[in-house]
Amino acid sequence: MSTVNIICYLGIVTIASSFILIPNRIAGIIKPLAGFAILLALAQLLMEGYYWQFLPSYLLLCLLMITAFFLKNRQDKIQKKSIQFSIIFLILCSIVPWSIFLPVPKLPKPLGQYRVGTKIFRWIDSNRHEQLTTNPSDYRNVVVQAWYPRPADAIGNHSKYIDGLHNLPNKIGILPRFIFDHFDQVETHGMLNAQISSAQKQWPVIIFLTGNEAARAFYTGIVSGLVSHGFVVLAMDHPYEAMITQLANGEVVTPIEVHSSNDPDLTNFMENRLNTRIADIQYVINKIIHQNESADDFLSKLDTNRIMITGHSLGGATAGAAMAHDPRLKAAANLDGTLYGELPESYGPRPFLLLESKKGDSIRYMRYENGNQKLFKQFGGGFRYEIIEADHYSFTDVPFFLALPTRAIAGKFLNFGNVTKKTQHATIDILNVFFKGAMKNDFSRIDSIGAHYGLIQKQIIK
């Protein structure tokens, strides 16, 4: 919430409150006060633009104007009580929007030594037709946002938080479009199209995969944090699965789901979705390895011998499955993900990490547990930590969309985004030491990081 918005909101509410608390003392200046409130609202609109959170405040302002300019000397006792009640009601209503959604979420600041740059690639895989559209000439789009260390003295514009921001559909997932009206002001900590840092000749690569139907934007906090520790992170969107994706031709698309009546628990559906993701990942790896065929010099700065992978939810499980299918991936980390489908014959031991939120013992988690045991077996063991107070959504940015009161209630009672900031910092630090440990075959620091954040070392299989 900007300073201008705060001044405008507090000014209108303070003036409205004076109509209730000290009506006799302001009787002689009621019109100037109402006029001042109007000036505050006009200044806010001119300087900041329209915010839906101000709607109850605008209604309150209208009521103050009517009271000051038209009803001041014409009120009987009942009218006066009605107006006072209406003002109190609108003051309370004006608090509600600011207590639920923030107009501009504030993401955690990256804490590593490197500043962050970013650029977006929208590739088309000409060897794969798009299976989810009806147009036979559609080929599979693969959308990747690269986040990378940049020089500290680079000059440029900050990157936008979400794709197609000014061309969004009416709903993004379950959220109405107007929630995102001012997300162009979100500080992503990434400078768009900045030059990649020359501190290293080539940088290790982490492919980052989103949860089911999530957009890559919703993991900006974790991704930018990882980059600040010296990685290039390729955050992927999977078109027609992610809730919002901008294709190479500029079109903004949303999920398309085709369910079968023979698949009531959607197991086959999720397995097919996972396999499509693996094909997208392999396309990206091929693109990196065949970098000399690219006109973009950026890809030549990526170390093809140090490609690793992680992701959240379905993205985490896909990360493990992708490494099982592709020996070019050197390490994988699963953040709270459930595996669907079977794994191929093992290529041998490779580093694997499971970082999870608190889980119960109910049958609901049986598929989750069985799938991760398959992954541990596939890679000859691994590391496993639980972030005690975290829930599944604590790994995402979405809880930061909420104002502090609502975030606290959602985390405490709805298992939605509890201890999000701690979860993101712990995740970044654990992934940092895990992937650097994988590159050096030295995991001596990982336990101390877990202990620092009070993580439960649920199981280590070696």
SS (H, E, C) 181-230: CCHHHCCCCEEECCCCCCCCCCEEEEEEECCCCCCHHHHHHHHHHHHCCC
Distance of alpha carbon 281 from alpha carbon 227, whole angstroms: 19
pLDDT for 259 equals 87
The three-point CA angle 13-402-247 to 5° equals 125
Q: What does each C-alpha distance from 341 to 228, 273, 281, 335 come to in angstroms? A: 35, 11, 17, 18
Residue 73 has pLDDT above 70, yes or no: no
Q: Compute the half-sphere exposure of residue 325: CA atoms within 13 Å on the CB side of its CA.
A: 20
**Beta-bridge mates of residue 308:** 206
CA proximity to 105, closest of 219, 195, 187: 187
One-letter amino acid for residue 52 of the chain: W
pLDDT score recorded for residue 2: 81
The pLDDT of residue 307 is 98
* Average pLDDT over all residues of the chain: 92
CB 244, CB 162: distance < 8 Å: yes
pTM of the model: 0.92
Q: What pLDDT digit, counting tens, does each position of 419-443 carry?
A: 999 999 999 999 999 999 999 999 9
Q: Quick one: pLDDT at residue 361?
A: 67
What is the percent of the chain where pLDDT is above 70? 96
- Compute, in degrees rounded to 10, the torsion defined by CA atoms 315, 316, 318, 321: 170
* Model confidence pLDDT, tens digit, residues 154-163: 988 999 999 8
Give the tens place of pLDDT for each residue, 189-223: 999 999 999 999 999 999 999 999 999 999 999 99
Query: Which range has the worst mean pLDDT, 130-139, 196-205, 257-266, 302-311?
Result: 257-266
Give me 414's structure tokens. 């709805």
Residues in the chain: 462
Interval 267-282: pLDDT, tens: 999 999 999 999 999 9
pLDDT digits (tens, 9 = 90+) for 379-406: 999 999 999 999 999 999 999 999 999 9
- Categorize the per-residue pLDDT at 258 as very low, low, confident or very high, splitting at 50, 70 and 90: confident
Question: 316 CB contacts (<8 Å, ≥6 apart)?
Answer: 209, 310, 333, 334, 335, 336, 337
The gap from C-alpha 197 to its chain's centroid, in whole angstroms, comes to: 25
CA atoms within 13 A on the CB side of 27: 5
pLDDT above 90 coverage of the chain, percent: 76
- Complete DSSP assignment for 296-334: -GGGGGEEEEEEEEEEETHHHHHHHHHHHH-TTEEEEEE
Average pLDDT over residues 300-316: 96
Q: Give the CA distances from residue 184 to residues 103, 105, 187, 221, in Å, rounded to whole numbers and listed in that order.
A: 10, 10, 8, 16
